[in-house]
Amino acid sequence: MKRDWDVIRDVLAEVEEHDIGDPESLEYEVSPDEFSIKAQHAILLWKSGFLTGFDATDLSREALLNPALTWEGHELLDTLRSKPIWDEVKKTAKTKGIELSFEAVKALGKAALAHVLTSGA
């Protein structure tokens, strides 16, 4: 699977908006029978420490129930949340030929914020 930063942004925003007390719990599941890019990215974020939740993995699937953002997850979402900043991050990465790693997104996010603030965009 190739990492898709737009999907990562969507997952983080979805988790932030989800109410943990909601009886309809949020679940991300990856199984051989069901292919979901969003679920795969949610599991990746969970394993990387950007999400917490209940591990519902069994022999037939990998699953995360009631995910919540960690401090690092909030920080990453704050970098990705603003559309002008996120667009500037992607534009700069493409122009400079930079692969988007977590470190690159954070660094480019800071530079994009400075650029947006000084340009008045």
Domain boundary assignment for the chain: 5-74, 82-119
> Residue 69 gets which letter from DSSP?
E
DSSP letters spanning 2-68: ---HHHHHHHHHHHHHS-TT-SS--EEEEBTTB--HHHHHHHHHHHTTSEEEEE--BTTBEEEEEEE
Q: What is the pTM of this model?
A: 0.83
pLDDT bucket at 113, cuts 50 / 70 / 90: confident
**Cα angle 76-86-101, degrees, rounded to a multiple of 5:** 55
Residues in the chain: 121
Tell me the percentage of the chain whose pLDDT exceeds 90.
36
Residue 105 has pLDDT above 80, yes or no: yes
Mean pLDDT of the chain: 87
> Residue 82 gets which letter from DSSP?
-
pLDDT (tens digit per residue) in 36-57: 899 999 999 999 999 999 998 8
DSSP letters spanning 30-48: EBTTB--HHHHHHHHHHHT
